[in-house]
């Protein structure tokens, strides 16, 4: 399954690529626990990402960045952003598996990334660290 697109939510919300060739750190201080554990905030981002709700500016940018993050294995992500993506991934797989499947189908309809990250998904399901 493809989890790297959850860099999306973590970056909280990535907004652009910096001159240094990495995603901006503008949203790195977003409290992911607050977003993930607040059903209203979570649902707003989820609806935006699946194309069924209004997007805030950061949500729209996040939605736009997901394909490149998937394609490049999050190559433009900082260490902090990668850790945040892992947190979001674990949350979705363990607490919102139906939502995970919906987003996975949207951002990886061909199953290309799903195959690539299958081992990581299994680690998460087993409660083991990804990296």
Note every long-range contact of 19-25, with CB atoms under 8 Å and residues 24 or more positions apart, other chains counting. 21/76, 22/76, 22/77, 22/78, 23/65, 23/76, 23/77, 23/78, 23/81, 25/78, 25/80, 25/81
**pLDDT tops 70 at residue 101:** yes
Domains of the chain listed by start with CATH number: 4-125 (1.10.2080.10)
Burial class (CB in 10 A: 0-12, 13-18, 19+), 93: buried
Q: Which of 18-22, 30-34, 110-114 has the lowest mean pLDDT?
A: 18-22
pLDDT at 21: 64
Q: What size, in residues, is the chain?
A: 131
For the stretch 24-65, pLDDT in tens is: 777 778 788 998 999 999 999 999 999 999 998 878 878 888
Pick from 91, 60, 99, 62: nearest CA to 77? 62
Give the residue with greater pLDDT, 73 vs 5. Answer: 73
pTM over 0.85: no
C-beta separation of 100 from 92 below 8 A: yes
């Amino acid at each position: 399954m493809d989890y790297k697109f959850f860099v999306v939510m973590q970056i909280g919300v990535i907004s652009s690529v910096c001159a240094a060739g990495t995603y901006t750190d503008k949203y790195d201080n977003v409290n992911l626990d607050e977003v993930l554990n607040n059903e209203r905030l979570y649902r707003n981002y989820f609806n935006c990402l699946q194309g069924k709700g209004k997007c805030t500016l950061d949500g729209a940018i996040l939605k736009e960045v997901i394909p490149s993050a998937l394609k490049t294995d999050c190559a433009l992500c900082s260490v902090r952003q990668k850790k945040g993506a892992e947190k979001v991934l674990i949350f979705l797989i363990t607490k919102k598996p139906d939502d995970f499947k919906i987003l996975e189908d949207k951002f990886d309809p061909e199953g290309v990334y799903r195959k690539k990250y299958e081992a990581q998904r299994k680690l998460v399901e087993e409660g083991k660290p990804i990296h």
